[in-house]
Amino acid sequence: MLLIGLMVLFKDIKSPLNINFFIFSISIVIWMTTLFAGYVYVPDELDLTLLFFRIAYGSSVFSMLTLALFFYYFPRITKPLPTWLIRSIWTFAILLWGLATFTGAVESGVYMDGNIQVDIFGPWYSIYLIYTVILFISALYLAISKIKNSKGVERTKILFASVGFIIFVFMGIMTNIILPVFDIFILQSEAGLFSLTFFIGVFIAIYKQRFFNMTFLTLRGLRTLILLIIFFILLVSTYSILRYTQPDIDRAIVIGISSVVTFFSQRWIQKKFPDLYGPGYHQLRNALSEFNYEIFEAKTHDEIDDKLKKTFEEKLNIKNPYLYILETEEMGSNFTKELSKIKDVVVLEELLLESNKSQQTQMLIENMRELEAALFIPLKREGRLIGLLKLGERQQKKSFSREEIDEIRKVIPSLEVALMNILINDSLREENDIMKEIIHARTKNLKRSNKKLEAMIEQQNNFISLTAHEFRTPLTVAMLGLEQISYTHKGKVSDEVAEDIQTSHEQLDKLTQLINRLLEIRRVDDDKIPLSLEDIDIVKLVRDTAKGMNLLADQEEMEVTYSGPRIKKIIKTDSVKLKEVLYNLIQNAIKFSKKGDKIEVTLRVSKKENKAFVKIRDYGRGIAKKDQKIIFDKFQQGSQYNQGVGIGLYLCKKYMQLLKGSISVSSRLGHGATFIVEIPINPK
């Protein structure tokens, strides 16, 4: 049993299932040995009997825990437990083991009542009893639940494992824990015999679960036996020959000669009989580890196929490895549907072992035989079957061990990703070709439409420019005429007429400004606006602009305030363009504020950022978020406003671009708006 535990452990020393099985095998061996040894010394050496019984109680603590955990892990975890809970259980088990082994907490003494040996239980015996029963019930529950929820070969495996464990542990608890409470000690000394059921159950379970490759172990044992026989024959024959020819020959020389000949014999056997030296588990693990990285280099199905052959066929002697892509391979729709229902590896050997084969199983067997497959591993993405990895028979038709299947399963996620990348790339290539044709056709249409649009925009700009120029002359004449009338008839007309003349003059002035702006837009769009960069005092410019706008604000009972530096700050910019921007923004703030409001103009100069910042804040109706993206576009204005034609802010943006600066806005409806103008101190 200990040998089996070691073999299982060293096949995957990091596996919790293998570790628990190894600890279980050790604790069972210790329990049986010490229990038997304890009865050997009854009644002559009761002190030794007590010592062995305490060790037996301590080892049984781990036996019951690892039994329960074995069924938790075997054949796979169905409901994961939190790590802290498993650690807590182990901590309590170690504590109970220490108390049972080194103190009288579980068994405090042993005495003879006539010819009957009687145990004296300690204060922790009841806790030990409860602990043992709980773990036994847990193991029983896990075994039954997994039997109920499993099917086919997996169900058979669990049944084989469960029967041996349950009989052994049940009889062990009855004869060593339950019956002694009632002073019934029948069969207690023979409890070790019940382990035979455990040995049988474990052996069959291990063989069915295939923790290790039995064929591989048999081959290794066979070739070792052959080499030992060769070495023994060589040793005897060499010694016999040399004894007569060289009586004084040193035995070390005989052994050396035999060893050298055996070594070359081993090399000859390996060359002539390669079937005895199939790839081992560690070689499989290393080859699959390399494959796991190399598979991402594959760009096509053929490249994946080449890497599969290189790894499985050349390195591992596994025949006919192939990856079926279900979107392109002809495999039959019914077979594909059945495979899409399978969640795990399909092993032909396991299907053949099923006693009552369903129609689905029969179809799988037929298809696997037709395709010369020993293993089928479905490849899925988001629950959808995308491919199928087929592996054929191994060398000498050896079966795949469970641990080998687990190692092969580890490459499936990488294979799924690689396959999805290929499918996506193929799909993108097809779509790209289609899109190229569509784009080519649409590009022709867009070019035609673009030419028409450019012609229309040019016509629009020409019309605006021509109209503005045509209006400019009569407007100038009309304004001069009004000024002449006002000057000639000053004091001769009634106040009402004088007011009408003044109103007409103001409206003509606004119209003139609008026409000038339309002409300015055309010049801006044609990049015909000259810049006049000079060193200016930004503090004086901003402060004077704010002060000058107070004349307009006073008429609306508003106030424009300035805050910022008072001492001179020199920057290099076009003062006319910058003043036009600030004037426009302050005028808009006045226009869209209510009487009594305050417009705040703030200046900040940062040498570190090489910028001057002018912030103009009002407390008016604000600008909707959707409008903030369009108010700087040509002929656009907010949905809340119907004044103007939407060219003021467009010109502000264009001017700031010319000055290598920027303009932005932040606002909420009903909370006013803040415009921020950024001007470089020294534009490059």
**Mean pLDDT value across residues 257-286:** 64
What confidence score (pLDDT) does residue 24 get? 79
Q: Which of 31, 78, 72, 28 is nearest to 161 (CA)?
A: 72
**Mean pLDDT value across residues 211-226:** 50
Mean pLDDT of the chain: 76
Give backbone dihedrals phi and psi of 654, rounded to 5 degrees, phi first: -65, -40
Please say whether the beta carbons of 405 and 376 come within 8 A: no
Q: Which residue has the higher pLDDT, 330 or 143?
A: 143
Q: What is the CA radius of gyration of the chain?
A: 48
Q: Which of 174, 414, 395 is nearest to 289 (CA)?
A: 414
Residues 6+ apart with CB under 8 A from 412: 377, 379, 389
Question: How far from 421 is each of 292, 302, 408, 430, CA to CA, in Å?
Answer: 15, 14, 21, 14
Strand partners, 605: 612
Residues 6+ apart with CB under 8 A from 96: 61, 124, 127, 128, 131
Percent of the chain surpassing pLDDT 70: 63
Structure tokens at 177: 């824990």
Gap between the Cα atoms of 216 and 76, Å rounded:
24
pLDDT tens-place string over residues 406-429: 788 888 888 888 888 888 887 788
Least confident range of 40-54, 59-73, 264-278, 637-651? 264-278
pLDDT exceeds 70 at position 213: no
Q: Assess whether the previous peptide bond of 279 is cis (omega < 30° from 0).
A: no
Which element (helix H / strand E) includes 346?
Answer: strand 346-347
Please say whether the beta carbons of 104 and 125 come within 8 A: no
The ranges of the chain annotated as CATH 3.30.450.40 are 281-410
Give backbone dihedrals phi and psi of 87, rounded to 5 degrees, phi first: -65, -40
Please say whether the beta carbons of 577 and 683 come within 8 A: no
Residues 6+ apart with CB under 8 A from 248: none
What confidence score (pLDDT) does residue 88 get? 92
pLDDT tens-place string over residues 354-405: 667 777 778 888 888 888 888 888 888 777 778 888 888 876 556 677 667 8
Gap between the Cα atoms of 460 and 547, Å rounded:
39
Task: Look up residue 428 and give its amino acid.
Answer: L
Superfamily of domain 281-410: GAF domain (3.30.450.40)
**Mean pLDDT value across residues 513-542:** 77
What confidence score (pLDDT) does residue 212 get? 45
C-alpha 43 chain-centroid distance: 66
Q: Which of 573, 603, 597, 586 is nearest to 545 (CA)?
A: 586
pLDDT exceeds 90 at position 541: yes
Confidence of residue 216 (pLDDT cuts 50, 70, 90): very low
How many CB atoms within 10 Å of residue 248? 6
pLDDT exceeds 50 at position 220: yes
Residues 6+ apart with CB under 8 A from 192: 32, 35, 36
What confidence score (pLDDT) does residue 218 get? 47
Distance in Å from the first CA to the final CA of the chain: 85
Structure tokens at 7: 């073999």
What confidence score (pLDDT) does residue 198 get? 54
What confidence score (pLDDT) does residue 63 get? 84
Gap between the Cα atoms of 359 and 351, Å rounded:
12
Burial 645-673 (b: 16+ CB within 10 A, else e): ebbbbbbbbbbbebbebebebebeeeebb
* Alpha-helix runs per DSSP H in 150-250: 152-173, 179-181, 195-209, 214-245
Per DSSP, 276 falls in state G
Gap between the Cα atoms of 438 and 145, Å rounded:
59
3-state secondary structure of 670: coil
Gap between the Cα atoms of 599 and 552, Å rounded:
12
C-alpha 144 chain-centroid distance: 35
Residue with the two structure tokens 């339309």? 518
**Angle subtended at Cα 316 by Cα 312 and Cα 318, rounded to the nearest 5 degrees:** 60
The ranges of the chain annotated as CATH 3.30.565.10 are 534-680
Phi-psi region of 369 (alpha: psi -120 to 50; beta: other; left: phi over 0): alpha
pLDDT tens-place string over residues 460-510: 555 555 555 555 556 665 666 666 666 676 666 676 767 777 777 666 666
Burial of residue 227 (number of CB atoms within 10 Å: 0-12, 13-18, 19+): middle
Gap between the Cα atoms of 598 and 557, Å rounded:
9
What confidence score (pLDDT) does residue 674 get? 95
Superfamily of domain 534-680: Histidine kinase-like ATPase, C-terminal domain (3.30.565.10)
pLDDT exceeds 70 at position 274: no
Percent of the chain surpassing pLDDT 90: 14
What confidence score (pLDDT) does residue 572 get? 93
The ranges of the chain annotated as CATH 1.20.1070 are 2-212
**Mean pLDDT value across residues 624-647:** 75
**Mean pLDDT value across residues 155-179:** 69
What confidence score (pLDDT) does residue 415 get? 84
Give backbone dihedrals phi and psi of 574, rounded to 5 degrees, phi first: -95, 105
Confidence of residue 229 (pLDDT cuts 50, 70, 90): low
CATH number of 2-212: 1.20.1070
Task: Using DSSP bridges, classify how beta strands 598-606 and 559-563 pair: parallel, antiparallel or unpaired.
Answer: parallel
How many CB atoms within 10 Å of residue 30? 18
Please say whether the beta carbons of 389 and 405 come within 8 A: no
Residue with the two structure tokens 């005028």? 587
Question: How far from 659 is each of 538, 542, 608, CA to CA, in Å?
Answer: 14, 16, 19
Q: Which of 66, 139, 127, 137 is nearest to 96 (CA)?
A: 127
What confidence score (pLDDT) does residue 123 get? 92
pLDDT exceeds 60 at position 114: yes
3-state secondary structure of 652: helix
Question: How far from 417 is each of 292, 599, 629, CA to CA, in Å?
Answer: 11, 61, 42
**Mean pLDDT value across residues 505-517:** 66
Structure tokens at 274: 């390669």
Task: Look up residue 182 and give its amino acid.
Answer: F
Structure tokens at 427: 């799909």
Q: Which residue has the higher pLDDT, 77 or 649?
A: 649
